[in-house]
Structure 1
C-alpha cells in the first residue's frame, strides 16, 4: 500500500548564475566535482550556468580510476565544460594535483569532511561557514560566512582591484621621479651651471604633494571592467613591462614639460648661462616653475592613472573625491611655497604670474589627453581583436 511520497528541493541561490557568468568573463574555469549522480549534477550545473553545451564532458569516479596521470591530464586539458561525478576524496585530490601540475591556480570549495584533503591541498580552499563542518573550515584558507558562491566572485573582483590600485600607486609615484631627474641631466648636458630643482624642493614634492594623492589612489573604487579580463600570469612581476612602459610614458611627458618651461624661462631672460647665480630672480622663477610643473602635472597624472583602459571621463571625475581634495592640497601647498615669503626663503622660490600657472595647467592637460589617447588605442585594439575572432 502506497502511503505517500516525500521529496526534497534545494534550489540554487538566485545570485549564483550571475556569479558564474562573471567567472566566465574573468577567465575562471569552473569544474563541478561532486558525489551526486551525473544526471543530478548536470541538471544543477545547467540551472546555474556552469553547463551551456548540449553534451558536456562527464566522468565518474569509476572512469577516473581507469585513467592514469596522463589520461587525467588529457581530460583536464580540454577547455570545455567538465563534470566529475560520483567521486571520492581521493579523486578530488587527484584532480587538484593534476590541475596544479598543469600550472593552474586552483581554488576548491567544499563543506564536508570528505572535502578537507582537497581544500588543504588547493592553492586556496574555500569552506562554507554556515553549513560547513569544522573539519572543512579548519582545512580551508577562506570561509564564506554566507555560504554564497557569489561572495567568491566578489572577493576575486576586490583582489584584482587591490592589485590594480597598487600598480596605480606605483605608476603615480615613480613617474614623477623621471620628471625630477631628467631636468637635472638636461641642465648638465646643456652646460647650465645650476640645478633646475633643488633637493629641498624635491623633498617638498615627495612628502608634501605626493603622499596624499597616492593614498587616495590606493582607495580607488573598483573599475567596472575588472572582471572582464583573464587572470594575470603567475610569473608576472608587479613591475611588469606594461607598468614600466606606462611609467616611462607618463614620466617622459612630465619631464619634457618641466624641461620646456625651465629652459624657455632661462632663454627668454637673455642672460648668459655663466652669469646665473642662485640669487638671480629669473633663476628662482625658473626653478619655481619646475617644482610647480611637477606638482600640477602630478595632479593630472593622478586622474590619468585612475583607470587602466577606461576613460577617466567615463569613470567620473567625482567618484574619488579624496583624490581631488589631495590634489588640491598639493597645488595649494605649492602656491604657498611660491607666494609666502617665509617659504620662499626656505625653498628659494619666487612668485609665479597667472600666465605661468596657465602654461603649467596646459602641460598637465596635455599629459591627461595623451594618456586618454593611449587608452583609446588600447580599447580600439581590444575591440578589433575580438571582432577578428
Structure 2
C-alpha cells in the first residue's frame, strides 16, 4: 500500500520509526545505507574534453587550416604579411573557444541552483529530543518539524499538521499554495496527495511533523535534478546551418585557390608565385569573423535570459528556442512570473485612492479559511492586494 494511504502510526511502523523519531545509532546506520540527502551531480564529460571541444569543431578546423596555410605562405615568401594573418586567425580561434567554454561552464550552475532550493539545516526529532541538524544527514524514518517559512528537506508523509499550506511552485509552477493535513489519502500521485510534502517546496503557513519517506535522488526534486543533468545534446538549427555554410565556404575557397593556381600556371607565372597567390585567395575567403560574431550574439541573448532567471546551459539552445513554433505547457503559471499584478482599478463613487489603500493594507494579513476553496481565493487575493498596495504607495504623496 502506498505511504499516502496509510495512517500516521501505520506509516511510522512501515518505516521502522515512531512519532519521536529514530535513535541516533539507527539514523547513523541508515545514513550509511541510503547515503546523504542531497542533489548529486551525475558523471559527465570531463572538463578538459569540454574545453578541447571548443577548438576542434568543423568551423574551428577550417580556421586552423587557414592559419596553417598563412604560416606556410610566410615561410615560403617572407614579408608578405601572411604571418600576421595567421596569428590573427589563431587569436580568433583562442578567444572564441575560451569565451564559449566560459559561457557553458557558468551555465553548469544549474545543479548548484537546484541545490540552493534545498534547506541547509532542518529541525528533527531523534530519540525523543528535538534538535537542528544538517539537512544532508536526514534519513528515511526521521521525523522533521516544519513551520511557516521552512523549506521541506525531503519527501515526507505528514503525521501531524495544523493549518499547513505549502507552495509547490518549484515543482509544478502552480502559483496558489495547497493545504496539507495528516489524514490518509487515496491519491497516489505525490504532487496531489494531501498528506505528502515534497523536498524543495516551502511552507506558507501553519506547522507540522512529517515522517521522512525518501531522500536525495529518490525524491521528486532529485528526479528533476537528474533530468536536468541527463538532457542529451542535440544539434540545433543554427549549428546545422553553420556546419553547412562552413562546408560551402571551405569548398568555395579551395576551388578558387585551385582555379587561380591553374590560371597562374597557364599564363606562365612561376610555380611558387602561383601557389602563394592561391594560398592567399583561400585564406582571404575564410570568414574569420563569423565564428566570434555568432558566439557573441548567442552570449548576449543568454545574458538577457539570465537576467530573467532563465538558465541556458548551451549557447546554441538560445537560437533553437527562437525557432520553436509550438510550446506545449500544462498551465500558464509555468510560462509566467507566477505572480498577479494590478493593472487597472475601479473604485465606488466617492471612494478615494487613500481609502482603497487603507482597505488593502488591512486585507493582506489574511492567513487561512475553513474551506480549501476559500483559502485559495484568499491566497490569490493577498497577492493581488499587496501588489495594489505597493502601486498606491508609489502614487500617494508622503504625509
Q: TM-score, normalised by structure 2?
A: 0.33
Larger proportion of helix: 1
> Which has more radius of gyration?
2
- RCO higher in 1 or 2 (8 Å CA, sep ≥ 6)? 2
TM-score, with length taken from structure 1:
0.34
